Amino acid sequence: MNNKSKGIGGINLIACLLLLAAMYWFMGQTGGQKNDFSYYDFEAALKAGEVSEVVIEPNKVVPTGTLVIKLENEEAEKLYVSDVKEIEELLQSYKVDYELEDVPQESVFVTAILPTLLMIGAAFILFTMMGKQGGGMNAKAMNFGKSRAKMSTETDNKVTFENVAGLHEEKEDLEEIVDFLREPGKYTRVGARIPKGVLLEGPPGTGKTLLAKAVAGEAKVPFFSISGSDFVEMFVGVGASRVRDLFQEAKENAPCIIFIDEIDAVARRRGTGMGGGHDEREQTLNQLLVEMDGFGVNEGIIVMAATNRVDILDPAILRPGRFDRKVMVGRPDVKGRYEILQVHAKGKPLGDDVDLQQIAQTTAGFTGADLENLLNESAIYAAKEGRAYLKQEDIRHAFVKIGIGSEKKSRVISDKEKKITAYHEAGHAILFHVLPDVGPVYSVSIIPTGVGAAGYTMPLPEKDEMFNTKGKMLQDIVVSLGGRVAEEMIFDDITTGASQDIKQATAYAKAMVTKFGMSDQVGLINYDNDSDEVFVGRDFGKTSRGYGEQVATMIDMEVKRIIDECYAKAKSILKENEKILHSCAELLLEKEKIPREEFEALF
Ligand code: ADP
Ligand code: MG
Ligand code: ZN
């Protein structure tokens, strides 16, 4: 942005001043006193017996306060303290006279009414301004519709792929974009179509923003970044005009990258909002789509976007010619975590007892941001202790603090849980591999997903199928049960971790019986009463099943028979492959995530 908003008109100036004044009142009138009498001076004076009297003036915000310290032969000094109680104790221990004043009660006018009035005044002026915008006078000054994008140019964006630890596959995926931005000619010459949009998807804190910046840094092109929520303003039309403006600026600076962080704020599925949807957001999204369709394929603009909620995005945004490239940015595995720790340990002197490898092993489920936070907290702890380097002890402290503080976000996983998960996932994976109609396994992981699952086994469907066969459906059920079966085989106890699997297996078996006519007992009758399209009004009043007690019993028995048979099958296959079960689980415990080739090498 070429700083077009330099000229602040007189009226704006007044508005700004009023706002500042209001803020000052709100924040309390504490700051502003300038002196260089420090707490250490105070302590020294106490020790030397130079303090004759102290007046303690508590602030409204207890327990902070101000000390007025009368020193012998000198004028009084002021000192701002964070805990009045502590000071009292200190003074008592030195037997110094002190006087404690009451907590001040300010008039309601000063604390509440005055700032509110100031705010209203400022808001009023701003609105008047807006009214005049069309009239031309000072129209440029406010820049309401201007994009709020921050542009960083080649020189001030220093982030490169080197700053992004781990994420090797992701970086490889983005390498070609970097190459294109560096040398567009190379691609246009042979008529290659480079993706216009790249969507980075993954949980918060995994490095999506960092990765986007690094692409710009690697390619040495300008980087326009804006957050989805910046588009969504209270004035209808502002978002759309911001989008237009952003693309205009980008075109002037091509080749470049536009980065839209948290795109879900604008690109939510249209027309689903309660009470008629959100006009403003729809307009903004439409404008975004228009702009993305509008620029030529190889104009040198790449739009990158990040989200952690791909499921709520409007499908229109994922169409070819828009965000047609998706890069999944997952939580790091042990190796990735080790590399991230190394990056963030730079500039933090580590004591010789610090073992980053061991930290990496105990932080399953942590994202890059969590790890950065962990080291930062450790450094703060070390600083508090007055040490110039970090000890393993500091990291342990920080670990406890972070692990407990954000329990939901990155739960610290015990070794036992990890082991159970490893066997559970290995159970699924082996069945996927052995059974002919399902699989193959694309990757197996015991990195917690953050949405409640302790791990996952991802199959890679080899062909698109029009319909399921009975055999395949049965095998799917066998695979679903494999996790639980493996747990049972290895541990005396079973866990609640398989509830989702059991639910899925049951749903499959039930559909086979009531919907697909795959049970000879029940026959070719559809007893499935969850109609595909659910009408709230219609479904409410409906209580009857539409069939009798006898049929219900028969369905239940058939479902149970299918599940039991599949369970037995899962058990026998895993028994046959028990050795592999062990070796797979061990490999998972070591690496946390194993790709297809390494998994298949076990057989
Ligand atoms: P996201 O955009 O996915 O929410 P960010 O890119 O904002 O996450 O990451 C937040 C911070 O976490 C980064 O500034 C960086 O310090 C740290 N971080 C995350 N992932 C990595 C990584 N792979 N390598 C190094 N640092 C990382
Ligand atoms: Mg981000
Ligand atoms: Zn499972």
Task: Quick: pLDDT tens for 47-103.
Answer: 888 888 888 888 776 677 788 888 877 777 888 777 777 888 888 888 888 888 877
Average predicted confidence (pLDDT) for the chain: 80
**Residue ID of nearest Cα to ligand 1 atom 6:** 207
Considering only CA atoms, which residue is closest to atom 11 of ligand 1? 369
- Annotation says 425 is catalytic: yes
CA 178 to chain CA centroid, Å, is 25
| Residue 123 CB partners (closer than 8 Å, separation 6+) | none
Q: Helices 334-345 and 368-384: crossing angle, nearest 10°?
A: 40
Q: Return residues with CB closer than 5 A to ligand 3 (ion).
A: 483, 501
Are the beta carbons of 232 and 280 closer than 8 angstroms?
A: yes
Please give the DSSP secondary-structure letter assigned to residue 125: H
Residue 334 near residue 592, CB atoms below 8 Å: yes
Residue 394, pLDDT > 50, answer yes
Between the CA of 579 and the centroid of ligand 1 the distance, in Å, is 39
Report the b/e string of 351-368 with b at 16+ CB within 10 A. Answer: eeebebeebbbbbbbbbb
Checking 355-363 for CB contacts under 8 A at 24+ apart, the result is 355/392, 359/395, 359/399, 360/334, 360/335, 361/334, 362/399, 362/412, 363/337, 363/399, 363/410, 363/412
Q: Which two tokens stand for residue 219?
A: 């390619």
Poorest-confidence range of 364-373, 383-392, 395-404? 395-404
Atom of ligand 1 nearest to the CA of 200: 3
Query: Do the Cβ atoms of 514 and 562 come closer than 8 Å?
Result: no
- Please determine, for residue 534, whether its predicted confidence score (pLDDT) is greater than 60: no
For the entire predicted model, the pTM comes to: 0.63
Given the residues 262, 291, 377, 425, select the one marked as catalytic: 425
Rounded mean pLDDT of 497-508? Answer: 89
pLDDT for 154: 56
CA of 591 to the centre of ligand 3 (A): 19
What is the reported pLDDT for 556? 93
- The first and second tokens of residue 232, run together, are 């969504």
Nearest CA to ligand 1 atom 18: 368
Distance 599 CA to ligand 3 centre (A): 17
pLDDT at 95: 82
* Per-residue 3-state assignment (H helix, E strand, C coil) for 298-329: CCCEEEEEEECCHHHECHHHHCCCCCCEEEEC
The SS3 call for residue 167 is coil
486 CA to middle of ligand 3, Å? 10
Full DSSP string of 336-381: HHHHHHHHHHTTSPBPTT--HHHHHHT-TT--HHHHHHHHHHHHHH
Ligand with smallest separation from the Cα of 260: 2
Query: Going by CA atoms, what residue is nearest to atom 9 of ligand 1?
Result: 207
- Residues having CB within 6 Å of any atom of ligand 1: 164-167, 204-210, 306, 340, 343, 368-369, 372
**Residue 529 predicted with pLDDT over 50:** yes
- Going from the C-alpha of 190 to that of each of 185, 302, 496, the distances in angstroms are 9, 19, 56
Expressed in angstroms and rounded, the spacing between residue 348 Cα and the centre of ligand 2 is 24
pLDDT at 598: 93
For the residues 290-299, what does the mean pLDDT come to?
76
Three-class secondary structure of residue 67 per DSSP: strand
pLDDT of residue 233: 61
* pLDDT tens figures, 448-469: 776 556 778 777 765 556 678 8
Beta pairing partners, 305: 199, 260
Give the C-alpha distances (Å, rounded to integers) separating 473 from 55, 86, 468, 484, 516. Answer: 81, 70, 7, 18, 11
Q: How confident is the model at residue 601 (pLDDT cuts 50, 70, 90)?
A: very high
Q: Which ligand sits nearest to residue 342's alpha carbon? A: 1
The CA 52 to ligand 1 mean position distance, Å, reads: 54
Residue 457: φ, ψ to 5°: -125, 120
Place of tokens 């999506």: 208
pLDDT of 530: 59
DSSP H or E run through 259: strand 256-261
Nearest-ligand number for the alpha carbon of 308: 1
pLDDT digits (tens, 9 = 90+) for 429-446: 999 999 998 878 888 999
Instruction: Give the position, in ligand 1's atom list, of the atom nearest the Cα of 370.
Output: 12
Q: Among 210, 327, 328, 367, which residue has the most ligand 1 atoms within 8 Å of its CB, making it the best to mutate? A: 210
Q: Among 262-266, 314-318, 388-392, which range has the highest average pLDDT?
A: 388-392
Tell me if 574 sits within 8 A of 429, measured CB to CB: no
Instruction: Collapse the DSSP code of 128 into the 3-class scheme (helix H, G, I; strand E, B; otherwise coil) and give the result.
Output: helix
Place 408 in a pLDDT band, splitting at 50, 70 and 90.
very low
Residue partners of 213: CB distance under 8 A and separation at least 6: 157, 159, 223, 225, 259
Contact 603, 433 (CB under 8 A): yes
